[in-house]
Amino acid sequence: MAFRKSSDPRPQILGVSPVAAIPGGEFQIRGKGLAATERPIVRFGDVDAPIVIGSDSFVIVRVPDGASAGDLTVGQNHQSSVHWSCGIGVQIADSLHPVSNPVVDRLGNIYTTFSGSPGQKTPGSIYKIDLNFRMKPLVTDLMNATGLALDQEGNLYSSSRHDGVVYQISPSGNLSVYAEGMGVATGIVFDHDHNLYVGDRSGTVFKISRSRQIYVFATLEPSIAAYHLAFGPDQYLYVTGPTTSSFDSVLRISPSGHVERFYRGLGRPQGMAFDVNANLYVAASLGGRRGVVRFTPDAKAELFLSGPAIVGLAFSPSKALILATNNSVYRVDVGIEGRPVP
């Protein structure tokens, strides 16, 4: 029996990658008849999106400001494709200056920084964004707030690359010195035994015990920006630190301090987070595409989210991804549960 060709003239979307983006990021669309009109027309809801590359079977589209999560279509009116669902980040805060991961407490409150340039006194140092996305300063007198971490009890800590101090922060925003002499202190993270690790971007990772004894845990190649730290479910410490290379690595350090390479081939890798399935998410470029790269436990990489200027990320209790760019914070509904604080 002969089958009749489909007479449906509408564009057909066969696949979209990555699965999510923030404004300024790009989606790659593969399909058929995408240029049924003279030039492909792509919309996110009712918002037209600029085309970077357009052909009948392949389109690269940039996410415009004002786009919201949900429906992507190619074409217009009765010639429009079936809707394709994709994740679009929504900006929840701006006028900030994060340089590393935000952190999210058990209730879903988000903490991020206005780090400033070296030696700059800023009106606010650390900001709290509540569940209604209202932002207010928590700390106002910490110079160059850099890395943030929460301990098992929910206490907040911040490093300062200005004075090499790690501060403990009370719920009302009062500072007390937790450790000092940490060099150019950047990323910080706790392990499951409540030891604190501090990345001195000049080439050292310090380990601070619960009794506040300080050890040199590992030595690394210096970073031009910062060390970013995350603990994996394998109890290894994962570290990124951008260098002048365009082919940077994610390193991991064993409990005994042995340094090995987990993955090599990223552009400017920065903040990191794990999900409950041991996948690692890194703010970085992969193959020239900037965003968030997802790694399986056996180090297979794919671009998970597209977007510019992302410096850090964290998962919320509601299974959303919280992204910090160099001036804003975004929320993306991804339905992924993050790994709890060790």
Query: Do 229 and 105 fall within a single domain?
Result: yes
pLDDT in tens, 208-224: 999 999 999 999 999 99
- 2-26 average pLDDT score: 82
d(CA 238, CA 137): 30
DSSP 8-state symbol, 319: S
Query: Do 48 and 103 fall within a single domain?
Result: no
Number of helices followed by number of strands (H, E) in the chain: 0, 33
CATH code, domain carrying 100: 2.120.10.30
* 6 is a domain residue: no
Could you count the other beta carbons within 10 Å of the beta carbon of residue 140? Answer: 14
User: Peptide bond before 18: cis, by omega within 30 degrees of 0?
Assistant: yes
Domain boundary among 32, 63, 88: 88
Query: Do 41 and 140 fall within a single domain?
Result: no
pLDDT at 4: 40
d(CA 298, CA 278): 10
Number of domains comprising the chain: 2
266 pLDDT above the threshold of 70: yes
- Phi then psi dihedrals of residue 77, to 5 deg: 55, -130
Distance of CA 310 to the CA centre of its chain: 6
Domain boundary among 66, 88, 110: 88
pLDDT in tens, 304-337: 999 999 999 999 999 999 999 999 999 999 999 9
pLDDT in tens, 277-292: 999 999 999 999 999 9
d(CA 200, CA 202): 5
CATH code, domain carrying 19: 2.60.40.10
CA dihedral over 323, 207, 124, 151, signed as positive or negative: positive
Query: Do 54 and 194 fall within a single domain?
Result: no
pLDDT at 77: 66
DSSP 8-state symbol, 20: E
* 338 is a domain residue: no
Query: Do 156 and 70 fall within a single domain?
Result: no
The overall average pLDDT reported for the chain is 94
* 84 is a domain residue: yes
- 33-62 average pLDDT score: 88
- In this prediction, residue 1 has a pLDDT band, given cuts at 50, 70 and 90, of very low
Count of positions (residues) in the chain: 342
pLDDT at 36: 63
Query: Do 73 and 138 fall within a single domain?
Result: no
* 258 is a domain residue: yes
Query: Do 41 and 170 fall within a single domain?
Result: no
* 21 is a domain residue: yes
* 31 is a domain residue: yes
* 317 is a domain residue: yes
d(CA 126, CA 284): 24
What amino acid occupies position 265? Answer: G
Domain boundary among 53, 88, 123: 88
pLDDT in tens, 78-131: 688 888 999 999 999 999 999 999 999 999 999 999 999 998 888 899 999 999
pLDDT at 193: 95
pLDDT at 69: 62
Query: Do 71 and 196 fall within a single domain?
Result: no
pLDDT at 7: 61
Query: Do 28 and 162 fall within a single domain?
Result: no
DSSP string over 156-218: EEEEETTTTEEEEE-TT--EEEEE---SSEEEEEE-TT--EEEEETTTEEEEE-TT--EEEEE
pLDDT in tens, 249-260: 999 999 999 999
Residues 6+ apart with CB under 8 A from 40: 11, 34, 51, 54, 55, 59, 74, 75
Query: Do 215 and 320 fall within a single domain?
Result: yes
Query: Do 76 and 95 fall within a single domain?
Result: no
Q: Which domain holds residue 84?
A: 12-88
d(CA 25, CA 291): 8
- In this prediction, residue 6 has a pLDDT band, given cuts at 50, 70 and 90, of low
179 pLDDT above the threshold of 80: yes
Query: Do 94 and 73 fall within a single domain?
Result: no
* 250 is a domain residue: yes
